[in-house]
Amino acid sequence: MNPPPVYQYAGLTNARHHGMSVDESGERLHRLAYAESRLMFLQAAHIISTPHRDVKALLSRGQYEDGQHADRLKQRLVEMRMSRKRAFEEPSPPLRFVFDEALHSHGPVELVTALTRVLKPAIIDSYHRYLCASNELADYGSLRALREVIAEEEEGMRLLEAAYADLVVSPEQKTAADTWTRHLEGLVVAAGGMDGAVGELDERRLVATRSAQPYTIPRKQAWDDTFVRVWDVEHVDEEQVGARMAQMICTRLGELTIAEALSFVLCETVGQPWSFYVDISRHMWDEMRHSLFGEAAAEDICGDRAGLPLREWETEYLYAMEPLELYAMLCDVEASLMKFPPGKRFEYEFCRDRARHPLMTMLQDFDWADEVLHVNIARRQLKEWFAGSQDELLALAHKGNESRDAARAKHPPAPLPDISHAMGNKG
């Protein structure tokens, strides 16, 4: 008898494996979706208090990807006979104690320790355990989704390990990391693992220590010295090509503050549907990406990512606003940038036609596309979130804009160099 072809069962290799039932698979995936959603909130909540710019950016990417993982798993649950209501509800598993404690990580050392040594390894192990336990032919949809999730998780893990190596260097830091690891590992074990498939639940050990009180995001700027800081930068017209390009790059760099402020909207707004949190998570990562656009352009033109300053005036008002007012104001500002001229189209065409800088042209093109999406997201979400009339919403946005204008006027702007010569070398 000839051996079967490698493509028998469409290449799925464990077609006769007695895997998990639909209910068993759903219970595991429900826990893992919950874990991914909590990882999103955990990283987002610590972006402001993490001073290291590169770690801030990594956390922002991580919270977005984990939110996407949670969303993918929730959608899969609906395909597996779980009601949409239950699939998109937050379960109340013992894992709550794990993530409530991790949320109270003291500073970047403990936070990155929690992610690198406990939470991420545990969830990656759970995914691999699921792959082994499931029948790939029967549960193809789950396994296909998980392989994509695992690829992102393992890439993120490598980056976190590099950050951990840079952050945890002194004997005192290593001791603190070891202590925090033991504490969180004990909670994960007591909870039966991320997927509920490891050991026995031990509720006696699921005791809140730090998390007896809710975590509050500090409304205080925490930035390292990667960039020279200025309050604001001078605004010039398009005839001053080099200075106008420098201003545009600084504006992109300054979108760090928008990303940070959106953590309040994401983490301090309760009772919204899951789609709200997925959208705000995306918006936050986009704003961090836009700040990185400025960094990449500065490095390309000036030969140094810190060749132009980081403006900080927006922290003055954004950190003081309540989430709804903040989001309404951001929606209003971004909507105004859709108008032409000037607006986002102008910025793109300036980079293309006047500055003739290929990298910045491409970056502004994607920045423009992202901002169109953000306006549409904000309009949709505010329609559901805000209980008042459209006029009342506009009044709330106007109040936020008044705070914005007052903050900007507190100190004079700084002049920027003419970078035309450097642009010519790059162009």
pLDDT of residue 427: 39
pLDDT of residue 61: 98
Tokens of 48: 């402001």
Cα angle at 71 between 66 and 73, to 5 degrees?
A: 95
User: What CATH class is the domain 229-426?
Assistant: mainly alpha
Q: Which of 51, 50, 48, 49 is nearest to 223 (CA)?
A: 51
Burial (CB < 10 A; 0-12, 13-18, 19+), residue 386, is: middle
The per-residue b/e assignment along 7-22, b for 16 or more CB within 10 angstroms, e otherwise, is eeeeeeebeeeebbee
Residue 260 CA neighbour count, 13 Å, CB half: 32
pLDDT of residue 1: 81
Query: Domain 18-210 classified CATH 1.20.1260.10?
Result: yes
18-210 and 229-426 share one fold:
no
Cα angle at 180 between 178 and 186, to 5 degrees?
A: 100
Q: Which of 15, 306, 255, 282 is nearest to 134 (CA)?
A: 15
pLDDT of residue 91: 79
Tokens of 16: 């006769």
Can you point out the beta strands (E) in 146-299?
A: 229-230
Residue spans of the domains in the chain: they are: 18-210, 229-426
Instruction: Please spell the DSSP secondary structure of 81-114, one letter per residue.
Output: T--HHHHHSPP--THHHHHHHHHT--HHHHHHHI
pLDDT of residue 426: 47
Average pLDDT by stretches of 10, the chain with 427 residues: 91 92 96 97 97 98 98 97 92 88 97 98 97 96 97 98 98 97 95 89 84 93 96 93 96 97 96 95 98 98 96 94 94 87 91 96 97 94 91 92 95 93 66
Residue 114 to residues 67, 98, 110, Cα–Cα distance (Å): 18, 10, 6
Residue 240 to residues 235, 243, 246, 364, 412, Cα–Cα distance (Å): 10, 6, 10, 18, 20
